Structure 1
Amino acid sequence: MDDYRLVDREPAPARYGRLEVRTADLGPADWLTERAPGHGDFGTVAGVAAPGFAAYARVLHPAALDERPVRWAAVAAARGLGTRPGADWHEVAGLDRDYHNACAYGLPGVWDEHPAEGPTPPAVAQALIPVLARHTRTPERCWFGLWNGYGRWDFDGIPSFPTPGRDEVLLAGPLAEAVSPVSLNEFAELPDLWWPQDRAWCLGGDVDLVSTYVGGSPALIAELLAAPELEAHPVSPGDKVG
């Protein structure tokens, strides 16, 4: 498991952006920690988001060309390939799994920057928020999980809750504030997990992934798949993540 803890870290903030850092009562996360064995294993869609939803989507983090977003489908098309829901970025870009052949970096005129690896990138989050808000009764009361291994802040003294492969600090606030951590600095990671009080859906990302996963109703997933600002594919809860 990756761990980006540094020797000299800043004290944990009382607010992560405009999200409250909870130092007591982690009860809102109990439903995530009490999943049955085999439901939401590490490395699966339901392990990154949460098990039990009727439908799931994989939202791809875009590559870039001159700092402009580039869809994976455009990269695949430039190489004469199609795309499939479970495709890994290295397959789409024509790289080996560890990017050892990345000396021919990018594809001229198509892409010159890999997709962001980690939790949901801010631009993708901004496109997700209005869609997610339409599919919950409680957009003003949401919960978030932030991996306590991100190295800029010292979360060692803050209570955390376990998810498959990670320990998360619990944050609270309106859905609209999910992107507010960038106010701390431009490199601040957004929360890995998002869910509303009514648990109508759950969004999950991870430090090692170039995709974000969402579980929810068929109507929500259909809207995500159709959103012009997003590149998304339907997936199943047991599918491997990437």
Structure 2
Amino acid sequence: MDAVSGAEGQWIADALERYIGKKGYFGAVAGVIPDTFEAYARIFHPVDEMNALGPGLRWADLARTKNTVFHPEAQFHRLARTELYGRAEIDGRDVGQAPSGEIVQRELELLAEILAGHSMPSQDIFQAVWDGWGGFEPGRHNIPTGAGTTLTVAKGLRKYWVFRGSMAEFVRPPWFDAEWGRSEQTPNLAWPGDRSWCMASEIDFDSTLVGGTAELIAAVVHSSGLEALEVTPSSNLSSEGDTINV
């Protein structure tokens, strides 16, 4: 893997630029991932994933417990019937929200298998990591260095370090922590050299978005290991986007 110029991801910044200033920009799928793909999926990060008592819970299970509706624009606080950024009780278990800004390792591995099956073999896989994560900096902890410029999105709202590698390095980059069995930082953006798909884990979102062909998105949505639903570029994933569980 090597560090590359942010210019490699400029096509993403250009696509998102069209939505800056539009109503609902910060919550819309198209404000996070280019609107040029045939279909899109939202992968829900497991609820309370960091709880030491066990693995995270699925959002659909939370909805059944709280008698709410699990749907593409669902938001944790409304699904759980709690305040914004609050916690919830499920079967006597006090649970926190799903992690924001990064997909968990096991979901990344499952997603990579699907993406590999819908990608041209042996092509470059680019991944970009937000430059605001504490301790993540080229030159430290085996993080490649030398590219210089970052990818700037939304007039400086987000800046990312960009790296070029293989699908295997997408799952296990040089900064993968073998002791913990996970990446110290999963990508916030990723795409292949032919730009046939794109993955985005927005810093403030508790889910990961994937855009690609209808076949790819169907494979993501129907994966038994991923909790995912199909969304559209206009889907509102802001804290007010869940208008069903109000």
Following the alignment from structure 2 to structure 1, what is the Cα–Cα distance between the partners of residues 19 and 179? Answer: 36
Counterpart of 2:153 in structure 1 is 163
Instruction: Give the secondary structure class of the aligned counterpart of 2:161.
Output: strand
Counterpart of 2:83 in structure 1 is 96
Counterpart of 1:31 in structure 2 is 11
Deviation of 1:145 (Å): 1.0
Contact 2:125 2:170 in 1 (8 A): no
Deviation of 1:36 (Å): 6.8
Counterpart of 2:104 in structure 1 is 121
Contact 1:39 1:51 in 2 (8 A): no
Query: What is the one-letter code of the residue matched to 1:125?
Result: L
Following the alignment from structure 1 to structure 2, what is the Cα–Cα distance between the partners of residues 185 and 241? Answer: 34
Query: What is the one-letter code of the residue matched to 2:70?
Result: T
Correspondent of 1:231 among 218, 227, 230: 227
Counterpart of 1:134 in structure 2 is 117
Following the alignment from structure 1 to structure 2, what is the Cα–Cα distance between the partners of residues 166 and 190? Answer: 16
Superposed, 1:1-242 pairs within 5 Å as 19-22=1-4, 25-35=5-15, 37-39=17-19, 41-64=25-48, 66-99=53-86, 102=87, 105-109=88-92, 112-138=95-121, 140-154=123-137, 158-164=148-154, 165-180=157-172, 181-183=175-177, 186=180, 188-242=184-238
Q: Deviations along 1:34-86, whole A, 9 cap, x unmatched?
A: 22743474432122222211111100001247322311000110112221110
Deviation of 1:113 (Å): 4.0
What percentage of residue pairs aligned between the two structures are identical?
27
Gaps of 5+ in 2: 140-145, 239-246
Query: What is the one-letter code of the residue matched to 1:133?
Result: A
TM-score by length of 1: 0.80
Q: Deviations along 1:142-173, whole A, 9 cap, x unmatched?
A: 00111111111346994101123311111111
Count the aligned residue pairs.
218
Instruction: Give the secondary structure class of the aligned counterpart of 1:27.
Output: helix
Following the alignment from structure 1 to structure 2, what is the Cα–Cα distance between the partners of residues 110 and 98? Answer: 17
Following the alignment from structure 2 to structure 1, what is the Cα–Cα distance between the partners of residues 228 and 112? Answer: 15
Provide the aligned C-alpha RMSD in A.
2.5
Deviation of 1:223 (Å): 0.8
Contact 1:75 1:110 in 2 (8 A): no
Gaps of 5+ in 1: 1-18
Instruction: Give the secondary structure class of the aligned counterpart of 1:214.
Output: strand
CA separation of 1:34 and 1:124: change in aligned 2, threshold 3 A: same
Deviation of 1:109 (Å): 5.0
